[in-house]
Structure 1
Amino acid sequence: MKTIDGRQWATREDLIERSGYGGTTLKSLWRDRRANGHPEAREIDGVMHWDVELWDAWFAEQRKRPRDLSGVDRSGDPDEELPPAGQARVLGVDPARITQYAKNPPPEWPDPVRVEKLKTRDREYRTRAQLWAWVDDPMSGFGTKGGRPSGPDVKARARAVKVLDARVRLAAEALATMPDMEAGKVAALLAERHGQSVSTWKQIVTQARKQARQ
């Protein structure tokens, strides 16, 4: 964890410890950032870091996303080992979804309890208990549109607005401490401190100035 200009910046390892989620989950969330509104990173000493305040706010909202789990089958032996078709029935999805998960696993997708070696592929078995625990984990993303957010829904837009508001506040603070500095230079300084492009920060600085006049 690093502190720069009074703000804390965390590496992915710091976020793993902070959130309690594994590296695979956090990498998946970062990979899907265009859909889920994940905050941008800043490179510090050659390592990606995230603004802790922005990331915590985003993460809290991510865990509160509304989900529909009504299609999940909660019956049967929790310890029964199921092949992909059986896993699909428990989750109430097309078997192709399980095949997709094998190639591109969603956050927290459980490891198989055993793997059957076939001539052309491996068949992975998971228990009902594993699948139930997975769908009940809000970070799995299961139960949202498409099983994983595929585009900016209302919640995603709300998260994006919240992150933008935080950045406008950062710009307002910078303008207050450097009132004589040109907007372009303020934007360049903010881009250096917090990541994203100078042009993006110019827009945010302009918005902060508008709000200050109101």
Structure 2
Amino acid sequence: MKTVDGRKWATREDLIEHSGYSRDTLRKLWRDRKANGHPADRMIDGVMHWDLEEWTAWFAEHCQRPRDLSGVDRSGDPDEQLPPAGQARVLGVDTSRISQYAKNPPPGWPDPIREEELPTRTREYRTRRQLWAFADDPAGGFGTVGGRPSGPDPKVRAAKATKPDPRIRQAAEALAAQPGRKAGEVAAALAREHGQSVDTWKRIITQARKQAQ
């Protein structure tokens, strides 16, 4: 864990310990960042880091997305080994979804309990227990209804509101030092200096201007 300008920056190992989720789950969440809004990284000493407070708020929001698990079949022997068609029935999805998972597994998709070699492909078997755990994992996003929620979890939002964001001070100082520059130019300069995306700094600049009024 690194501290830069009063903010903590975490490696993936730090995030694993912080969240309790596996390396594979966090790696896939990062892989799908364009779709899920995962915060941008920052290279520190040649290692990828993430702003711990920003990442924690995003992850809480990510896990609180509305989910519909009504199609999941909870009946049967938990240890029964099922082929793809059976896996699809348990999860309440089309068999083609299971085929897609084999090529591009989502976060939390379990490894097969065993494999059967067929003339043209490999058939993977998973247990009902594995499938139920996958469906119930909030980090995986199975059964998510619609897009991302409009805002973070209320508890996270309240916790963030109780302490000032040092980035707002940094944005205010940058605006005061260069009053003639456009907000986008100042945001780009702050992003280069402190990390995070230009869009994030644009929002922070907007907050800084509101507080100055």
Q: TM-score, normalised by structure 2?
A: 0.83
Structure 1 residues 119-128 or 181-190, which shifts more? 181-190
SS of the aligned residue for 2:139 comes to: helix
Residues 113, 125 of structure 1: 8 Å contact kept: yes
The structure with more helix, counted as a fraction of residues? 1
Question: Which residue is equivalent to 2:124?
Answer: 124
Question: Which residue is equivalent to 1:192?
Answer: 193
CA 1:101–1:201 in 2, change beyond 3 Å: closer, same or farther? closer
1:124-143 aligned at under 5 Å gives the runs 124-143=124-143
Unmatched segments (≥5 aa) in structure 2: none
1:6-155 aligned at under 5 Å gives the runs 6-145=6-145, 153-155=147-149
Question: Which residue is equivalent to 1:212?
Answer: 211
- Report Cα offsets for 1:121-140 as digits up to 9, x if no partner: 11000011111111111112
Question: Which residue is equivalent to 1:158?
Answer: 151
**1:206 Cα deviation (Å)?**
4.2
Instruction: Write the distance in 1 (CA, Å) between the matches of 2:62 and 2:200.
Output: 24
Aligned length: 201
Unmatched segments (≥5 aa) in structure 1: none
Structure 1 residues 6-15 or 82-91, which shifts more? 6-15
Q: In angstroms, what is the RMSD of aligned CA positions?
A: 2.7
Instruction: Write the distance in 1 (CA, Å) between the matches of 2:23 and 2:69.
Output: 25
Q: Which amino acid aligns with 1:126?
A: R
Q: Which amino acid aligns with 1:208?
A: Q
Task: Give % identity.
Answer: 59
Q: Which amino acid aligns with 1:191?
A: R
Q: Which amino acid aligns with 1:42?
A: R
Q: TM-score, normalised by structure 1?
A: 0.83
Instruction: Write the distance in 2 (CA, Å) between the matches of 1:191 and 1:204.
Output: 16
